[in-house]
Amino acid sequence: MSATEISPGLVIQRVKPPLKLADFKLIAFDMDSTLINIECIDEIADAVGKKAEVAAITEATMRGEIKDFKESLRRRVALLKGVPVEALQQVYDERLKLNPGASELVAACKAAGLKVLLVSGGFTFFANRVKDRLGIDFARSNLLDEAGGKLTGEVVTQSWGDICDGAEKRRTLLEVASLMGISPQETIAVGDGANDLPMMGEAGLSVAYHAKPKVREQAMVAINEGGLDRVLEILK
C-alpha cells in the first residue's frame, strides 16, 4: 500500500483509517523533538559554547548516519564535562516547551484508557519533569553523572543498563506490554529519529512526528505539519 496524504501534512501507509484509539492499550513517546521542542543535549552544550559541535553529532545520529547511538551519546556527554548543574534547570525553564498537541494527545490517550510511556535517549532531569507535567505513567532515560555541582561528562549505569538507545527503547516497549498482558499490536510508538525505529517497528501503529526522512518513510503515520494531536484525525 503506497503512502497517501489524507490531509495536508498527514501521510499514512499500510494502515486503513479510521482506527479506534481505545483498541490500543499503550502509547510510547520519544521525548526530544517529539514531545518537546528541543534536543536537550544541544541546549546544555550551549552553556559551554559547544552547541554547534554537539548538535552536528545529534543531527547525524538522528538521521541514522552515525549508527552507534551509545557511542554517539558518550561522545556528546563527554563534551558536557564541567557544565554547572544549574544549566539544566535553565534549559528547562527558558528553552524547553511542549510541542503543539502533546498535552491534548496524552490527555486523549489517558481518557481512552491507554497507559503512557516516555522512552528517551535524553536525560532523567528533563524526562522526569515532562513525565510529571503531562501525567505520563512511566519514563526511562539516561542519568547524567555529577560531582561538586558540575557534570562529569559521563552517564550513570542504572538497573536496566547505562544508555537508553534504540534497542533499549524497543525492549522497554515490549517489556511494558508484556507486564500489561497485551500484544505489541496493541501499542503505538511515536518518534522522530533513527533510534526510534526499533520500537516503531514493533508497535501496532507507528507515528513519525516532523521526523527525519528515514523515519517518515518507515512509519505508518507521518505528521509533517501541525501538532502531535493530528494523529487523532485517524484514531477516533
User: What is the mean pLDDT for each group of 10 consecutive residues in the chain (236 residues)?
Assistant: 90 92 97 97 93 94 91 95 96 97 98 98 98 98 98 96 96 98 98 97 98 96 98 94
**Total structural domains within the chain:** 1
| 57 falls within a domain | no
Compute the distance between CA of residue 127 and CA of residue 215 in angstroms, rounded to an integer: 22
| 49 falls within a domain | no
| 63 falls within a domain | no
| Placement of cell 558536557 in the chain | 80
| 58 falls within a domain | no
| 51 falls within a domain | no
Cβ(40)–Cβ(91) below 8 Å: yes
Compute the distance between CA of residue 192 and CA of residue 33 in angstroms, rounded to an integer: 7
| 211 falls within a domain | yes
Give me the pLDDT at residue 1, please: 59
Task: Indicate which CATH number applies to the domain containing 25.
Answer: 3.40.50.1000
Give me the pLDDT at residue 114, please: 98
**pTM for the whole structure:** 0.96
Catalytic site residues?
30, 32
| Placement of cell 536525560 in the chain | 123
| 80 falls within a domain | no
| 160 falls within a domain | yes
- Residue 214: φ, ψ to 5°: -60, -35
Can you list the alpha helix ranges (DSSP code H) found in the chain? 40-46, 51-62, 69-78, 86-94, 102-111, 124-134, 166-180, 197-202, 213-218
Instruction: Supply the range of the domain harboring residue 188.
Output: 4-37+99-233
